[in-house]
Structure 1
Amino acid sequence: MPTTTKRGSGSTSLPGVNKIWRALPGGRVARDWYAWRGKGAPAIARFEAATRAAVIEQESSVEGAKLIAQGYAEATHPKVDTRTLGGILTAWEGSPAFIHRAHSTKRNERNALKQIGSAGIAKTPAKFLTPKSVKAVRRDIRTWLQKVADEQGPRAADVRKEILSKALNWGIDEGYCEANPADGIEDFSYSDRSDIIWLGGELMGFESAGRAARRKLMKKDAPEPEEPPDTTLALLLACYSGLRREDLCRFADPHIGEHAIALKPLKAQRRARTAGKKAPADIIIPRTPELNAVIALCRQVRAKWEEKDKIKRAHLLLNSRGRPWTPAGLTSSFIKVRDAAKILHVYDDGRNPEPKRLHDARGTFVTHMRCLGYTKEEVAEMVGWDTDDVDRVAKKYADADRIALAWLERLKRRAG
């Protein structure tokens, strides 16, 4: 007899606990208790009986309450040797504070945690994580991070520093250590990229590299499609919508209105959920002629896939197999084309050039919308920036007279 599941009421004095009813062979029932909801949640107790009432009676007994409390304590405070820095990191990774975070965040941070755990700093005794010894340990961590920056890049070092700091702050709250030596270490990379945009020549170079990559995958005598490559469409949509990578990947027909696109950014939703606030309102992006052109190209490519395999799709952006992009897949393909095109941003202050990123398209969107006459307040609301950042980017890349004329034309259209 196949096992079926049904969610229980979930009411309990233990925060986050999840209960699921299960039908067993012979008409018996069981209820499994989990430490929290979601994939990978550890089971903390199970109760079986002939009826649901009997199961609930077992759970309500003194023995049942003890079993549940013991299982919950073991799941939320795993038995890990926390006498070293690496042990504290392991305990943090197994805690609800880590488990309840976004799946994409956990996936990315687990790779960094694995590298930190294999480094020499992981053997640092927790007894040295005190205000008295923090300077010496901070020096060791900074030395290791500098090595990471030299071998893997400044951004990789900053990611590991941020993870270390989060884990050790958690360790302080749990009583595993007294100080956070990662706190106070300066960033290795220059994080503010709001004034970096994709220029016209760079977009053309990116498309050329994308077409070259596509030709390598095509049959020898097959005609080349007129539509831009999938990576180019993703970059163009980012430039003319201002959407972040994860929102680009889920962008679909229901988000497209007659005059504007509207959706709730995933990043804003996560921040609201973490802060215990209600979901944010939709961001509204006007459908400019350029954005309409990109949407039309995306639909044209989608229609070819639907004609080929007879499967309807709602997503706008599709990869080379006709499937919706995943954020990781889009980044990987984007980097390959960008590196083939050798597109770098050269800083004005003499810092080493860095490759352009997909996220830099948001600066392109800001400049484009200001040149169309939208106010800095309107554009700031679309991308979630400060108005000063919007003004600075627009002034750097767009002629002030062009912005003023576009604004006047927009006022005239409104008056008409």
Structure 2
Amino acid sequence: MLATLLKWANLCGHDIAINVAADIPQLYRGGNRQEIIWLPDDIDRFLETAKSEGKPWIGDGLRLAATTGFRLADLVTLTFDHVGEDAINKVALKKSRGKRRRAIIPITAQLGELLDELRGRHRADGVNNVLVNSYGRPWTESGFGGSFNAIRDLAGIVHVDEDGEEKSKHLHDVRGTFCTMLLTECELTDEQAAEIMAWSPDRVRGIRKVYVDESQARMALARRVSAKQDAQ
């Protein structure tokens, strides 16, 4: 952002001899987060913390993200005009592979119940956004993002990697939660889930391996142990 600002100032004729922020190497090391998702316990703790802090409307955004897979920009700009009888139809604000894609999100029973609930939220005159703040006004990206992160930190929502290092879970990581729902509850193939998520099938397969296949294997093992104990 600083590099862009200095470039703009230079183009506008301001006295900037050199853009000192240009061509800085990428320093962020947490870019590969595809194995991180929000688990049911994370969601429950977040919602409980938001409620105890007197800010339940922040939990609305988490629940909507978990049932749509939308990014922050699309969550705060989603209106009921985008909601059809069977699906949410919205052009994503973020470009994917150089162009904006149209997201067609199936309205599951869980999403349908949530949308019905959110229709009952207090709204200022003329506001048709699905998510609104305590004043009944639409959220801004920074406003919701900052409020979301504050509740997340109070709730202690973190991911612990194989080295024992803790990383705060991001709102964006909820997209992985939505992906697991497509694979389990909707029983979609990797390719079908990838089409909805605008991800590669390989990335979906990674989510399936970590959070679906391994979970099912553990459940099967537990049933075998239980059955053997009952037989004794």
The TM-score, its normalising length taken from structure 2, stands at 0.81
- Asked if residue 398 in structure 1 is aligned to residue 225 in structure 2, the reply is no
Q: Which runs of 4+ in 1 moved over 3 A?
A: 74-77, 269-272, 399-402
Asked whether the equivalents of residues 69 and 178 of structure 2 are also in contact (C-alpha less than 8 Å), the reply is yes
Counterpart selection for 2:168 from 348, 355, 372? 355
Partner of 2:11: 76
Specify the SS of the correspondent of 1:283. strand
Q: Give the letter for the 1:242 counterpart.
A: G
Question: How many percent of aligned residue pairs carry the same amino acid?
Answer: 31
Partner of 1:337: 151
- Asked if residue 189 in structure 1 is aligned to residue 16 in structure 2, the reply is no
Q: Give the letter for the 1:264 counterpart.
A: V
Whole-Å separation in 1 of the counterparts to 2:46 and 2:215: 29
Counterpart selection for 1:268 from 69, 92, 95? 95
Moved more, 244-253 or 393-402: 393-402
* C-alpha displacement of 1:75: 8.1
Q: Give the letter for the 2:19 counterpart.
A: I
Aligned pair in 2 of structure 1 residues 320, 396: CA closer, same or farther (>3 Å)? same
Partner of 1:213: 53
Whole-Å separation in 2 of the counterparts to 1:321 and 1:314: 13
- Asked if residue 284 in structure 1 is aligned to residue 93 in structure 2, the reply is no
Moved more, 366-375 or 263-272: 263-272
* C-alpha displacement of 1:380: 1.1
Aligned pair in 2 of structure 1 residues 252, 190: CA closer, same or farther (>3 Å)? same
Whole-Å separation in 2 of the counterparts to 1:370 and 1:189: 29
Asked whether the equivalents of residues 95 and 101 of structure 2 are also in contact (C-alpha less than 8 Å), the reply is no
Aligned pair in 2 of structure 1 residues 267, 281: CA closer, same or farther (>3 Å)? closer
Map 1:121-140 to 2 at 5 A: none
Whole-Å separation in 2 of the counterparts to 1:345 and 1:209: 18
Aligned residues: 208
Whole-Å separation in 2 of the counterparts to 1:324 and 1:260: 22
Partner of 2:39: 199
Whole-Å separation in 2 of the counterparts to 1:211 and 1:390: 33
Whole-Å separation in 1 of the counterparts to 2:86 and 2:28: 43
Partner of 2:76: 249
Partner of 2:219: none
Whole-Å separation in 2 of the counterparts to 1:334 and 1:77: 37
Whole-Å separation in 2 of the counterparts to 1:299 and 1:76: 47
Q: Give the letter for the 2:115 counterpart.
A: I
Partner of 1:88: 19
Q: Give the letter for the 2:32 counterpart.
A: D
Q: CA RMSD in A?
A: 2.5
* C-alpha displacement of 1:346: 0.8
Q: Give the letter for the 1:204 counterpart.
A: D
Counterpart selection for 2:183 from 364, 370, 377? 370
Specify the SS of the correspondent of 1:88. coil
Aligned pair in 2 of structure 1 residues 373, 400: CA closer, same or farther (>3 Å)? farther
Partner of 1:380: 194
Stretches of structure 2 that go unaligned for 5 or more consecutive residues are 1-7, 217-232
Whole-Å separation in 2 of the counterparts to 1:202 and 1:75: 46
Whole-Å separation in 1 of the counterparts to 2:94 and 2:202: 22
Q: Give the letter for the 1:283 counterpart.
A: A
The structure with the largest alpha-carbon Rg is 1
The TM-score, its normalising length taken from structure 1, stands at 0.47
RCO higher in structure (CA 8 A, sep ≥6): 2
> 1:174-216, CA deviations, whole angstroms, 9 ceiling, x for partnerless residues?
xxxxxxxx34x6x44221112211111111110111011107x
Aligned pair in 2 of structure 1 residues 264, 270: CA closer, same or farther (>3 Å)? farther
Map 1:287-306 to 2 at 5 A: 287-301=107-121, 305-306=122-123
Whole-Å separation in 2 of the counterparts to 1:199 and 1:191: 20
Q: Give the letter for the 2:119 counterpart.
A: R
Q: Give the letter for the 2:188 counterpart.
A: Y
Whole-Å separation in 2 of the counterparts to 1:389 and 1:213: 36
* C-alpha displacement of 1:320: 1.5
Whole-Å separation in 2 of the counterparts to 1:286 and 1:238: 13
* C-alpha displacement of 1:232: 0.8
Aligned pair in 2 of structure 1 residues 292, 352: CA closer, same or farther (>3 Å)? same
Specify the SS of the correspondent of 1:398. helix
Partner of 1:318: 132
